[in-house]
Amino acid sequence: MKKLVKKYILKEENNIRTKRGGRKFNFVVYDKVSWHYPGNKNCPNLETAISHFRSVMSWLRKNSLLSTEGREILRRSGIDSDFYIISAMLNNRGYEILQAYYSKWLKTIDYSSKKLNFKRLCVYTS
Return d(Cα 97, Cα 102) in angstroms, integer. Answer: 7
Count how many domains the chain has.
1
Q: What is the overall mean pLDDT for the chain? A: 78
Q: Name the residue with higher pLDDT: 84 or 6.
A: 84
User: Looking at residues 26-55, what average pLDDT do you find?
Assistant: 89
Asked whether 50 and 33 are in contact (CB, 8 A), the reply is yes
The per-residue pLDDT for 74 is 87
The pTM score is 0.74
pLDDT digits 0-9 by tens, 63-111: 999 999 999 988 888 899 999 899 999 999 999 999 988 888 888 888 7
- Chain centroid to CA 92: 14
Domain that holds residue 38: 3-125
Q: Which of the two residues, 80 and 125, has the higher pLDDT score?
A: 80
The counts of H helices and E strands in the chain are 6, 4
Q: Name the least confident of 16-30, 35-49, 77-91.
A: 16-30
Q: What is the pLDDT of residue 15?
A: 47
- For the chain, give the percent of residues with pLDDT over 70: 70
**Is pLDDT of 122 > 60?**
no
